[in-house]
Amino acid sequence: MPQARLRVELPDGPWIADVSRDHPEALFEVLTALPEEGKGFGLFRFRSDSVESVLERIRTHETIEEASVIQQTDGAATVQIVTSKPMLLLAAKRSGTPIEMPVEIKDGTAIVDVSAGHDRLSELGEQFSAMGIDFEIEYIQQRLQPDQLLTDRQRELLRLAVSMGYYDTPRRCTLTELSEEIGLAKSTCSETLHRAEEVVTKKFVREWLPQENLHFEPVP
């Protein structure tokens, strides 16, 4: 199924749009969310140098009905909320297009990943337009299964490297021992392993870590 990444400009009004614009340095991540007509339940975390200020803004926002801090540190907090204006989630629900979590939001802009065909994606766009939500499509690509990302030899080598302790700290085997075990020349083993590590690392970073200031060619 195709996977799309959308850059969504949230309109003023929803709490997370207003709070993130008031604190443009803060990074919000919606971890789980359950939309209903007129109400939304969610769990999110944020990182900021002004945690207390952000929390106070959340608690006093007119669309927040409940806000409970689950965990808090000097630079981050995890919060459970009930809101009366879950626009992004309602648009997804009405279009039948589930949003993949977590969703990152910074300075009023949400990075949204969805897995949907073109018809569903078009319907989501219509819902956004009806709600006054502007967005642009960063990319659409065919989602590949994990076994499609690597060659058979790369998968075999990675599994062997893990099982022999090549990635342990300290290492329990050397590259020479790994190459001898799998029956490859050391140089071939090194190149094959590096290519596999490149694919896996870029895939992980692109999907799970913040995207600002990252510059590399995307992998499938």
Residues 98 and 119 in one domain: yes
Token pair, residue 150, equals: 């690597």
Residues 132 and 161 in one domain: no
Biggest distance spanned by C-alpha atoms of the chain = 65
Q: Is residue 7 part of a domain?
A: yes
Q: How confident is the model at residue 142, as a pLDDT? A: 62
Give dist(CA 40, CA 29) in Å, integer.
15
Give dist(CA 80, CA 139) in Å, integer.
31
Residues 138 and 156 in one domain: no
Give dist(CA 67, CA 55) in Å, integer.
9
99, 124, 142 — which closes off a domain?
142
Give me the number of domains the chain comprises: 2
The pTM (predicted TM-score) of the whole model is 0.65
Q: How confident is the model at residue 145, as a pLDDT? A: 55
How many C-beta atoms surround the C-beta of residue 34 within 10 A? Answer: 12
142, 159, 183 — which closes off a domain?
142
Q: Is residue 218 part of a domain?
A: no
Q: How confident is the model at residue 128, as a pLDDT? A: 93
Sites in the chain below the pLDDT cut of 70: 1, 37, 142-148, 206-220
Phi and psi (nearest 5°) for 54?
-65, -45
142, 160, 186 — which closes off a domain?
142
Domain limits for position 193:
146-208
Q: How confident is the model at residue 1, as a pLDDT? A: 66
For 143-189, how does the pLDDT look when each residue is reduced to its tens digit (9 = 90+)?
A: 555 556 788 899 999 999 999 999 999 999 999 999 999 999 999 99
Give kind and range of the element (H or E) at residue 100: strand 99-106
Return the SS3 of 58: helix
Residues 110 and 49 in one domain: yes
Q: How confident is the model at residue 173, as a pLDDT? A: 94
Give dist(CA 33, CA 185) in Å, integer.
50
